[in-house]
Chain A
Amino acid sequence: MAEVIKKATRESYGEALKELAAECEDLVVLDADLAEATKTVMFKKAYPERFFDCGIAEANMMGVAAGLAASGKIPFASSFAMFAAGRAFEIVRNSIGYPHLNVKIGATHAGISVGEDGATHQCNEDIALMRTIPGMTIINPADGVEAKAAVKAAAAYNGPVYLRFGRLATPIFNDEASYKFEIGKGITLKEGNDVTIIATGLMVNEAMQAAKQLEADGINARVINIHTIKPLDTEIVCKAAKETGLIITAEEHSVIGGLGSAVSEAVTQCCPVPVIKIGVNDEYGYSGPAVDLLKKFGLCADNIVSKTKEAVEKFKK
């Protein structure tokens, strides 16, 4: 069996920016004193004249990005998700969202897998916040290959985009040569008719592992990767609801306002079926190694397996 290559999606973000720079002359990058961590440092080293450090001032950074976009630039404004979506929320809403400016927000260190830094930096609310902004596109890539493709698609798209990346190195499962990314299009990774597991971000790989275990136990689960949380691919979600009658969602985000909420909102309108949400419950995280924290919070294949079995038992028998 081939060795699993692991890479953090933030790493792919940095690489993609650098690769894009040559062909996309209007692309500029902003950071708020976190270039080493967000990996925009790769771009900074290669194109110092197109990189602007804003210092520890995320509110101003988002406004500067808006002004650059209003003047024809394609700014990628980067910080940790907590500060990009949290601290700067109102600036993103009023200075970027309302005028619908072509700003890309590169938010790294999202979710519980930030690890040791603990609750203040573990942002489990960013998708919920960004979803409420009209016209905002939200992309949460599942691996390095998808992250790179997402950055390139975001640059080519005209409008505000929130890109969510992780700190932790996670397995690359997409094949770079054949992978195709389309904003707003979910991907069916495995067919199945007993239940559908809809996952996003680093939970997609866990969902695939879970489906294999479920298969061995006689449950044929469909697995869908939703990289674009907004606009949601309601077609693929509603089709899954109709054909499998039961949905499990899995995300490294609060169960309030994220993928699980978006999927629930969609199926209640097209085909109401039970939706079991796996994510961070209504609580804060805490310090610890990322991999251990993910297990503690049930963000792993084993928990998807047990929750799916429970749900199949309850709703399908």
Chain B
Amino acid sequence: MDATIKKQLEITATEIRMGVIEGTFNAKSGHPGGSLSICDLLTYLYWVKMNVNPSDPDMKERDRFVLSKGHCAPALYSTLANKGFFDKEELKSLRHIGALLQGHPCIHIPGVDMSSGSLGQGISVACGMALAGKTDNADYKVYTVLGDGEIEEGQVWEAAMFAAHYKLDNLVAIVDNNGLQIDGPISEVCSPEPITDKFAAFGWHVITMDAHDFDSIEKAFDEAEKISGKPVVIVQKSTKGKGVSFMENKCSWHGTAPNKEQYDQAMEELNARLAELKA
């Protein structure tokens, strides 16, 4: 990847991470850990890959995005705000009464293609969108992001079967493999491993990537682009809490908001990263 583009993407991803901290701090609740692990992915999708238009969010030919792991709404909202779908100030009222930004994604928010939050459901909806695209011979692609804990839901595998059966090669699912869920490491709670083998057995083309390296991300999506006749899953190896030192790889940051002191420290770290990138 071109070094200038890569640096710009890293800057954007850092700004999106700041939005995640801003949102969850002001909400005094929410899910920063899993949000921080998908910020680079969302940056790549919305700034490189997807055909979307912030001034026409419902544009018919747009690429669709479904956040199947809906609890990571802070990352999606920060992405959409940074992209210009709505004012960044909205992040400060995340989860407040009467606010635009609901605790989990809601279809009425500009740029949000589907309400989600109850795990396992988003991938089915993404299948429906991809199927509609196929029957209409439309060019758009459908992207959906699932958690590695989320794939413990049986509905995910119903959808996996369906997508392969209907050869939905306009569908790309990304599994955020940060290895942690609420009750502990996924390997200890009720292991969904081996994730890549499972999807391969269900008839998907499987790609792996480093979730925090834009060269790796680009390579994965370039490969996905070439696949026809079957759906693609990208299993991204990620770090829960990525970018904020004290949140990294800690289960406890799954669903806990930073207090004022933690907020200041997180922002200081992210601002330092931003200054370093801009230097």
Collect the chain A residues with CB atoms within 8 Å of residue B125's CB: 63-64, 66-67, 70, 95
Collect the chain A residues with CB atoms within 8 Å of residue B107's CB: 70, 99
Name the one of A49, A59, A67, A72 contacting B114, with C-beta atoms under 8 angstroms: A67
A185 at interface (Cβ–Cβ under 8 A)?
A: no
Q: Are B162 and A67 in contact (CB under 8 A)?
A: no
A243 at interface (Cβ–Cβ under 8 A)?
A: no
Provide the bound-state CA to CA distance between A151 and B62, in Å: 32
Tell me which residues from 6 to 31 in chain A have a Cβ below 8 Å from any Cβ of chain B: 28
A60 at interface (Cβ–Cβ under 8 A)?
A: yes
Give A67-104 as 1s and 0s: 1 = Cβ < 8 Å from B's Cβ atoms: 11111110100000000000000110011001100000
Provide the bound-state CA to CA distance between A9 and B93, in Å: 50
B131 at interface (Cβ–Cβ under 8 A)?
A: yes
Collect the chain B residues with CB atoms within 8 Å of residue A214's CB: none
Q: How far, in Å, is A290 (CB) from chain B's closest CB?
A: 31
Q: Which one of B151-159, B210-218, B261-269 contacts A?
A: B151-159
B181 at interface (Cβ–Cβ under 8 A)?
A: no
B127, B136, B158 interface centre (most CB from chain A within 10 Å): B158
Tell me which residues from 132 to 172 in chain B have a Cβ below 8 Å from any Cβ of chain A: 132-133, 135-136, 154-155, 158-159, 161-162, 165-166
Give A125-167 as 1s and 0s: 1 = Cβ < 8 Å from B's Cβ atoms: 0000000000000000000000000000000000000000000
Q: Which one of B40-48, B116-124, B224-232 contacts A?
A: B116-124
| Total residues of chain B contacting the partner, CB 8 A | 33
A34 at interface (Cβ–Cβ under 8 A)?
A: no
A62 at interface (Cβ–Cβ under 8 A)?
A: yes
Q: Are A55 and B161 in contact (CB under 8 A)?
A: yes
A62, A63, A68 interface centre (most CB from chain B within 10 Å): A63
A65 at interface (Cβ–Cβ under 8 A)?
A: yes
Name the one of A50, A64, A75 contacting B162, with C-beta atoms under 8 angstroms: A64
Provide the bound-state CA to CA distance between A54 and B123, in Å: 14
B126 at interface (Cβ–Cβ under 8 A)?
A: yes
Give A33-67 as 1s and 0s: 1 = Cβ < 8 Å from B's Cβ atoms: 00000000000000001101011010111111111
Tell me which residues from 8 to 31 in chain B have a Cβ below 8 Å from any Cβ of chain A: none
Q: Are A95 and B115 in contact (CB under 8 A)?
A: yes
Q: How far, in Å, is A100 (CB) from chain B's closest CB?
A: 8
Tell me which residues from 196 to 227 in chain B have a Cβ below 8 Å from any Cβ of chain A: none
B107, B113, B118, B155 interface centre (most CB from chain A within 10 Å): B155
Q: How far, in Å, is A72 (CB) from chain B's closest CB?
A: 7
| Total residues of chain A contacting the partner, CB 8 A | 29
Provide the bound-state CA to CA distance between A99 and B70, in Å: 14
Chain B residue at minimal CB-CB distance from A103: B128
Chain A residue at minimal CB-CB distance from B142: A67
Q: How far, in Å, is B45 (CB) from chain A's closest CB?
A: 18
Chain B residue at minimal CB-CB distance from A90: B118
Collect the chain A residues with CB atoms within 8 Å of residue B180's CB: none
Chain B residue at minimal CB-CB distance from A49: B135
Provide the bound-state CA to CA distance between A57 and B127, in Å: 13
Provide the bound-state CA to CA distance between A67 and B171, in Å: 12
Chain B residue at minimal CB-CB distance from A91: B121
Q: How far, in Å, is A31 (CB) from chain B's closest CB?
A: 13
Chain B residue at minimal CB-CB distance from A101: B107
A57, A59, A60 interface centre (most CB from chain B within 10 Å): A60
Q: How far, in Å, is B194 (CB) from chain A's closest CB?
A: 22
Collect the chain B residues with CB atoms within 8 Å of residue A95's CB: 114-115, 118, 121, 124-125
Collect the chain A residues with CB atoms within 8 Å of residue B73's CB: none
Q: Are B162 and A60 in contact (CB under 8 A)?
A: yes
Q: Are B135 and A60 in contact (CB under 8 A)?
A: no
Name the one of B113, B122, B162 contacting A54, with C-beta atoms under 8 angstroms: B162
Collect the chain B residues with CB atoms within 8 Å of residue A73's CB: 132, 135
B129 at interface (Cβ–Cβ under 8 A)?
A: yes
Chain A residue at minimal CB-CB distance from B130: A67
Q: How far, in Å, is A104 (CB) from chain B's closest CB?
A: 14
Collect the chain B residues with CB atoms within 8 Å of residue A57's CB: 155, 158, 161-162
Collect the chain B residues with CB atoms within 8 Å of residue A90's CB: 118
A55, A66, A73 interface centre (most CB from chain B within 10 Å): A66
Q: How far, in Å, is B121 (CB) from chain A's closest CB?
A: 5
Q: Are A67 and B161 in contact (CB under 8 A)?
A: no
Q: Are B127 and A67 in contact (CB under 8 A)?
A: yes
Name the one of A28, A66, A91, A99 contacting B155, with C-beta atoms under 8 angstroms: A91
Provide the bound-state CA to CA distance between A68 and B159, in Å: 14
B120, B126, B128, B154 interface centre (most CB from chain A within 10 Å): B128
Give A241-271 as 1s and 0s: 1 = Cβ < 8 Å from B's Cβ atoms: 0000000000000000000000000000000
Q: List 30 A-B contacts (CB under 8 A).
A: A50-B135, A54-B158, A55-B158, A55-B165, A57-B155, A57-B161, A57-B162, A59-B121, A59-B124, A59-B155, A59-B158, A61-B124, A63-B124, A64-B127, A64-B131, A65-B128, A66-B124, A66-B125, A68-B128, A69-B128, A71-B64, A71-B133, A71-B136, A73-B135, A95-B114, A95-B115, A95-B121, A98-B106, A98-B115, A99-B106
Closest 5 CB pairs of A and B: A67-B128, A63-B124, A71-B132, A60-B158, A57-B158
Q: A67-B127, A73-B135 are in contact. List 10 more A-B contacts (CB 8 A).
A: A52-B131, A57-B158, A63-B127, A66-B125, A67-B129, A67-B132, A68-B131, A75-B128, A91-B118, A94-B121
